[in-house]
């Protein structure tokens, strides 16, 4: 989705403007999106929440599926509209902005290839004196909140890994006369939770983590909804 992300710089980007987007053709090929634990309960109402191992770090990453085939987002229709009732992940809502790694720092960035970005129309990022505009300040606040949510998500994931609760996930979904096999993801195992010592289970309840686990598990029913949507588009 991000084609040309670059750190925001007040000299290079002093004339840059952004028009908020109301449609999502840029996300039409987005099969999954990073999902913060703060989003689980709302996201679980309409999209599946799964996990995958980051090949670079070897740690588990939290995702929501947006489709059941690569490069196909079932939440975006042919006109680029996000389907009513389908959760829009914060990762998508932040576009064309994101945090990116620059050396050892994480810095705010913008996708210069986005149709939302121009030098003629939209909200300016900077004032004439070089200071951040109110629009950019609001964006930076949003990105900071998202970054903090990602930190909370990492702590959640680390705790789930420390309890060894993940298991490989496979799903065979009927799409018309064909079967679509979903693999390469993980889920939290209900059997492993049941085998935890009582104090560990009590801790999950007391800290609110069990609510997040329950949201993840209930969200997996949305795979059948995705299969029906894909069949309707066949």
pTM > 0.85: yes
168, pLDDT greater than 80: yes
Report whether 47 contacts 65 (CB < 8 A): yes
234 pLDDT higher than 80: no
Q: In this structure, what token pair is assigned to residue 160?
A: 């789930």
Average pLDDT over residues 48-55: 93
pLDDT of residue 87: 98
Q: Is residue 217 very low, low, confident or very high in pLDDT (cuts 50, 70, 90)? A: very high
Q: Is the pLDDT of residue 181 over 90?
A: no
Structure tokens at 164: 């060894």
Task: Answer yes or no: is pLDDT of 182 > 90.
Answer: no
* Share of residues in the chain with pLDDT > 70 (%): 100
Question: ω before 96 within 30° of 0 (cis)?
Answer: yes
Decide if pLDDT at 177 tops 80: no
Is 173 a residue whose pLDDT tops 90?
no
pLDDT higher than threshold 90 for residue 170: no
What residues contact 62, with CB distance under 8 A and at least 6 apart? 34, 35, 36, 37, 49, 51, 153, 156, 157
Based on its alpha-carbon atoms, the radius of gyration of the chain, rounded to whole angstroms, reads: 20
pLDDT in tens, 56-112: 888 899 999 999 988 899 999 999 999 999 999 999 999 999 999 888 889 999 999
ω into residue 168 within 30 of 0, thus cis? Answer: no
At 13-26, the pLDDT tens digits run 999 999 999 999 99
- pLDDT band (50, 70, 90) for residue 167: very high
Mean pLDDT of the 182-201 span:
95
**Residues linked to residue 24 through DSSP beta bridges, in sequence order:** none
Q: Chain-wide mean pLDDT for the chain? A: 94
Residue 83: predicted pLDDT:
96
Give CA separation, 172 vs 4, 76, 176, in Å: 36, 23, 12
Residue 178's DSSP bridge partners are: 175
């Amino acid at each position: 989705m991000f084609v040309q992300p670059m750190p925001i710089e007040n000299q290079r980007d002093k004339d840059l403007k952004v028009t908020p987007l109301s449609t999502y053709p840029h996300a039409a090929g987005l099969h999954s999106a990073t999902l913060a634990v703060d989003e689980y309960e709302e996201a679980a109402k309409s999209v599946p929440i799964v996990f995958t191992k980051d090949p670079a770090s070897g740690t588990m990453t939290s995702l929501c599926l947006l489709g059941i085939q690569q490069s196909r987002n079932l939440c975006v229709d042919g006109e680029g509209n996000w389907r009513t009732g389908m959760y829009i992940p914060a990762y998508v809502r932040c576009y064309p902005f994101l945090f990116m790694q620059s050396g050892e720092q994480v810095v705010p960035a913008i996708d210069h290839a986005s149709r939302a970005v121009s030098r003629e129309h939209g909200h300016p990022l900077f004032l004439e004196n070089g200071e951040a505009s109110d629009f950019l300040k609001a964006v930076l606040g949003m990105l900071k909140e998202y970054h903090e949510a990602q930190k909370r998500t990492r702590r959640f994931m680390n705790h789930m890994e420390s309890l060894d609760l993940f298991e490989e996930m496979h799903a065979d979904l009927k799409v018309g006369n064909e079967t679509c096999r979903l693999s390469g993801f993980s889920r939290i195992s209900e059997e492993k939770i049941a085998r935890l010592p009582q104090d560990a289970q009590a801790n999950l309840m007391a800290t609110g983590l069990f609510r997040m686990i329950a949201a993840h598990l209930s969200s997996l029913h949305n795979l059948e909804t995705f299969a029906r949507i894909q069949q309707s588009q066949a």
